[in-house]
Structure 1
Amino acid sequence: MNKRFLTVALAAGLIAAGCSDGSDNDAAENAAPPEEEATEQAASTEKNETDDFLVPFDETLTHVHGMGYTESEGGLYFASHTGLKVYRDGEWFETDGMYNDYMGFNAVDEGFYTSGHPGMDSDLPNPIGIQKSTDGGRSLEEIGLVGETDFHLMAAGYRSHDLFVMNPQANSEMEAGFYFSDNDGADWEQLDPKGIEGEIMALAIHPDDSQLMAAASNAGVFLSEDGGATFERLTPEGEFGTALHFTDSELLYASHGTAAAMKSYSLKDGETQSLELPELGEDGAIFIAANPAKPEEMAFYTAMGDSYLSGDGGETWQEILSEGQIQ
């Protein structure tokens, strides 16, 4: 096992411990007190009616906490400590406002679900609980647990919008542990999964079929086909899982043993195929995303701040970030 990569991965925030540089505290200092109620945060009406919400971005992209393709908006979205950054048609953009520290970020067909902490321009309580956006991040709609919990480990069905979370500590609706909701967080079902081992680094849920769930930990990659009741290990002993992503027909997962690996597990027949990766050295993927609108397009982001894009199903890769620097 590559212990150096595991250390870097943990520092990158894979296990629900927050930003390694104390940036969560920075967000808290700039947030409004929890008792201030705010169910929706919006940019100006002018920005909602125009494309001015996205402006060119040419700075360094750091502290990425999630990535994904939002069908309604187009482009590859990166959730960072200072809001959303977008790679679209070979160009980079950032949002003009809404600089929230997005954690547990999940792109879905109509927008995204997220948790995290408010930015300096926000009047949301800290933490922001679970929020969703259906307008590319111009506004947020409260799902629940605002001012109570920051869900670093959260998965959302791309089309079902079902939620699979790991609650880090008791709040007003949940004890600590795994929970599932099929009605946008109005009700939560506690899960008691069997078979998962280790410290959880990532969760995933199928775009439509919520019987299919996955978890990655420092003990491997685990798949459930019964709605989270039981999980089966997909990786060998001694190999830890670092990233997960469901497409309609497969589970894409990244792991690390003696070297970084990325594989495709067929949900139809259980066959596993390895994807060719660029030379990553001691680095490895911590987020994976595939574009539902273009099945051959996929991307991944690494613990050391690199990101690669493929337009041919992972046969070749283009580097679009190198240690956070735009390429």
Structure 2
Amino acid sequence: MKKSLLLTVFTLTFSLVACGQAEVKDKKFTEQSEAQTNKDGSVGEGASDNFLEVFDGKIDHIHGVGYSGNQGKPFYAAHDGLKVYEGGKWYKTKEENNDYMGFNATKDGFYTSGHPGQDSSLPNPLGIQKSTDDGKTLEQLALEGETDFHLMGVGYENQVIFLMNPQKNSMMETGKFYLSEDKAKTWKEVAANGLDDTLLSVAVHPQKADYLAASGQQGIYLSKDKGETFERISKSGQGTSVFFTNDSLIYGTYDGKAKLTKVSLSDETEEEIALPKMEEDAVMYFAQNPNNEQEMTVVSFNGDIYYTTDGANNWDTILEAGKIK
């Protein structure tokens, strides 16, 4: 992929971000194939939750991925609800198929923003919502009906929220960065010095609120003081994704080739994580199973999803250009 091509992809991404402020019940984003069930009415081998049903449609416009602590399997947040991959099969949630933006999996469920789906009675926009039952129900935390947050990170265990506010609301100023350490009850504006870039994503350390990260068109940024200052840590290329484990930051970049790098938070040593063959593409989202570091998944800008259970020695393509493999 040429750098200009990736910038074009970024522009498309931000166009989709902007359209999130408008009505998302447009048929363009809500059309999907009917889910399939087994002849006996069950949802298929491997699905451990009757809120899920087998899915065989197309998956477009993914805006987050993570391993829910309740299920221990990857959840992919799309414009038309959550998609789940388990046991070699795809599943979807039966209800609350919302347009999930700013999606972050946590130890007891997930946090999200976005817009309600056609089957939902949630406010539009969602503000900040939390679910502890993998999307069956959502709890309103803050700013429902006011703001759709796209740049939002949440710590997996500490549930600290870090975000950029896209438009003025009753609690925040436009374009400012904020941190909440009490599940969205109160907010502190943070300076974010050094974060002068067009951003794609942000992340919060699972346990230590001091550590925040961001990916932007100029690189990867790390904060060690709760967002007051950020330092660019990537050596070259555009930043594409950020993800924290307890002891490392895993980040994606593109400098003519897609790369995934793991940097130690203790001694700053780096190692490259092998990626599948990605031509004219890069890592948009990455997640690692917190209970099994050998299991990882990558979502690409071109709509591909890759999955590994052996620490990136071998990757399976489980979605190609939005189509299930």
One-letter amino acid of the counterpart of residue 172, structure 2: M
Aligned counterparts of 2:103 and 2:154: Cα–Cα separation in 1: 9
User: Does 1:294 find its partner at 2:324?
Assistant: no
Contact 2:24 / 2:99 at 8 angstroms: preserved in 1?
A: no
Match of 2:115 among 111, 114, 117: 117
Task: Report what 1:325 is aligned to.
Answer: 323
Q: Residue 289 of structure 1: CA displacement?
A: 0.3
Aligned counterparts of 1:264 and 1:89: Cα–Cα separation in 2: 27
Q: Residue 190 of structure 1: CA displacement?
A: 0.2
Task: Report what 2:244 is aligned to.
Answer: 246
What's the C-alpha RMSD, in Å, of the aligned pairs?
A: 1.8
One-letter amino acid of the counterpart of residue 217, structure 1: G
Contact 1:108 / 1:157 at 8 angstroms: preserved in 2?
A: yes
SS at match of 1:17: helix
Task: Report what 1:303 is aligned to.
Answer: 301
Mark the CA change 1:15 to 1:97 in structure 2 (over 3 Å): closer, same or farther: closer
Task: Report what 2:61 is aligned to.
Answer: 63
Task: Report what 1:9 is aligned to.
Answer: 10
Task: Report what 1:234 is aligned to.
Answer: 233
Q: Residue 15 of structure 1: CA displacement?
A: 8.2
Map 1:214-229 onto structure 2 (within 5 A).
214-229=213-228
Mark the CA change 1:11 to 1:278 in structure 2 (over 3 Å): closer, same or farther: same
One-letter amino acid of the counterpart of residue 222, structure 2: L
One-letter amino acid of the counterpart of residue 164, structure 1: F
What are the ranges of 5 or more consecutive residues in structure 2 without an aligned counterpart? 28-47
Aligned counterparts of 2:250 and 2:267: Cα–Cα separation in 1: 14
Spell out, residue by residue over 1:113-168, the C-alpha distance to the aligned partner (whole angstroms, 9 max, x if none).
00000110112221010000000100000011001000001000000011001101
Spell out, residue by residue over 1:191-213, the C-alpha distance to the aligned partner (whole angstroms, 9 max, x if none).
00111131011000100001000
Spell out, residue by residue over 1:40-87, the C-alpha distance to the aligned partner (whole angstroms, 9 max, x if none).
xxxxxxxxxx93310000111111111100021221100001100000
What are the ranges of 5 or more consecutive residues in structure 1 without an aligned counterpart? 30-49
One-letter amino acid of the counterpart of residue 7, structure 2: L
Spell out, residue by residue over 1:12-52, the C-alpha distance to the aligned partner (whole angstroms, 9 max, x if none).
34984246xx9x523389xxxxxxxxxxxxxxxxxxxx933
Match of 1:135 among 122, 133, 136: 133
Spell out, residue by residue over 1:276-299, the C-alpha distance to the aligned partner (whole angstroms, 9 max, x if none).
211111111110101001111111
Task: Report what 2:41 is aligned to.
Answer: none
Task: Report what 1:270 is aligned to.
Answer: 268
SS at match of 1:148: coil
Contact 2:72 / 2:289 at 8 angstroms: preserved in 1?
A: no
One-letter amino acid of the counterpart of residue 80, structure 2: T
Spell out, residue by residue over 1:83-109, the C-alpha distance to the aligned partner (whole angstroms, 9 max, x if none).
000001221100111111000000001
SS at match of 2:6: helix
Task: Report what 1:100 is aligned to.
Answer: 98
Aligned counterparts of 1:282 and 1:28: Cα–Cα separation in 2: 29
Q: Residue 313 of structure 1: CA displacement?
A: 2.1
Task: Report what 1:206 is aligned to.
Answer: 205
SS at match of 1:269: coil
Aligned counterparts of 2:295 and 2:19: Cα–Cα separation in 1: 30
User: Does 1:189 find its partner at 2:222?
Assistant: no
Task: Report what 1:35 is aligned to.
Answer: none
* Matched length: 303
One-letter amino acid of the counterpart of residue 7, structure 1: T
Spell out, residue by residue over 1:210-234, the C-alpha distance to the aligned partner (whole angstroms, 9 max, x if none).
1000011111100011111111111
Contact 2:72 / 2:291 at 8 angstroms: preserved in 1?
A: no
SS at match of 1:296: strand
Spell out, residue by residue over 1:225-245, the C-alpha distance to the aligned partner (whole angstroms, 9 max, x if none).
1111111111135x1111110
The one of the two structures with greater contact order (alpha-carbon pairs below 8 A, sep at least 6) is: 1
One-letter amino acid of the counterpart of residue 78, structure 2: S
Please give the TM-score of this superposition, normalised by the length of structure 1: 0.89
Aligned counterparts of 2:126 and 2:195: Cα–Cα separation in 1: 28
